[in-house]
Amino acid sequence: MPKKAPLSQVSDFELRLLRLFKTVAECGSFAAAEGALGISRSAISLHMSDLEKRLGMRLCQRGRAGFALTDEGREVLRAGEAVLVAIEGFRSEVNQMHQQLRGDLNVGIVNNLVTQPKMRITRALQAVRAQGSGVRINLSMSTPSEIERGLLDGRLHLGAMPLITPLSGLEYSLLYEERSNLYCSREHPLFARAAEIGNEELRSADAVVPSYRMSAEAIGLHQLLNFAASATDREGIAFLILTGSYIGFLPDHYAAAWVEKGLMAPLSPDRLFFDTKLAVAVRKGRRQNLILERFLEALQLSR
């Protein structure tokens, strides 16, 4: 058989012919390969002739003397097996990448969400981590403004924060609602009659007010208070309440541990409260990130 020009490329069709050749060689004859391939002997012969023409060399002797690989056929078989093994390895590795995630997930969260009983963020982080030891989670506790900046400049993949004033460059998904009550500590003069406090008593008590953005409902309730201190986050508010000198609003799940120990009490809880929507946010037009997509999927399943 005359030599032909080297192959310029190996298409899917050549790969199918190589698989057929491998099966014929393993079976030892065209007749024996019929059952394994599910095609007739004449079809096998046509495919083998086609492969030989494409490669420009005879791969096997067939006839009255029986079936036997040529020297070139043995070399092609060896090289073909290596190609097929490499393709299978590539397929397995890609499939493994879908199962075993690798890379970073940078998450910004407003502080004190860990006591939220629904724990949707915790469950989603757990689900992502379970999909691969190659996932590195980088968690930062920040203010809502810092989280928004981190999402917009690409430092953060995901943020969890109050949904107060949505930004046009971010996409939001509601996480849960959080109730906040007005609290005082056991050392505060209002503690003994916390169940029902009048507005005059509220105005006479020093209060700590947050310096971060609030909803209109929250702002309205804070206007009933005597602003005497400020804090950048909820932990700071808790510190000042526990001094016994201030009253202030805290999420009920965050204050629950102190309430159970008798160290705090809600003031007029039937009327002095507000609800805040909490959401996860991602940047619009973000680059594809498989870890982030898996996290968002897990977050939806945790509802």
pLDDT at 8: 63
pLDDT at 100: 66
Query: pLDDT by residue (tens digit) across 194-253?
Result: 888 888 888 999 999 999 889 999 999 999 999 999 998 899 999 999 999 999 999 999
Domains within the chain, CATH numbers bracketed: 12-97 (1.10.10.10), 102-176+278-301 (3.40.190.10), 177-275 (3.40.190.290)
**Sign of the torsion angle spanned by Cα atoms 181, 231, 171, 122:** negative
pLDDT at 5: 53
Q: What percent of the chain has pLDDT over 90?
A: 50
Asked if the model's pLDDT at residue 168 lies above 90, the reply is yes
Q: What is the rounded average pLDDT of the residues 162-187?
A: 93
**Residue with token string 């493994």:** 96
Candidates 56, 48, 77, 46; CA nearest to 4 is: 56
Using CA atoms, how far apart are residues 95 and 112, in angstroms rounded to an integer?
38
User: Can you give the pTM of this predicted structure?
Assistant: 0.65
Query: pLDDT by residue (tens digit) across 19-63?
Result: 999 999 988 888 888 888 889 989 999 999 999 998 889 999 887
Do residues 72 and 52 make contact, with C-beta atoms less than 8 angstroms apart?
A: no
Q: Which residue has the higher pLDDT, 116 or 224?
A: 224
Cα distances (angstroms) measured from residue 7 to each of 54, 72, 111: 8, 15, 62
Asked if the model's pLDDT at residue 127 lies above 70, the reply is yes
Cα distances (angstroms) measured from residue 34 to each of 24, 47, 71, 89: 9, 12, 24, 28
> Which residues, listed in sequence order, are joined to residue 137 by a DSSP beta bridge?
105
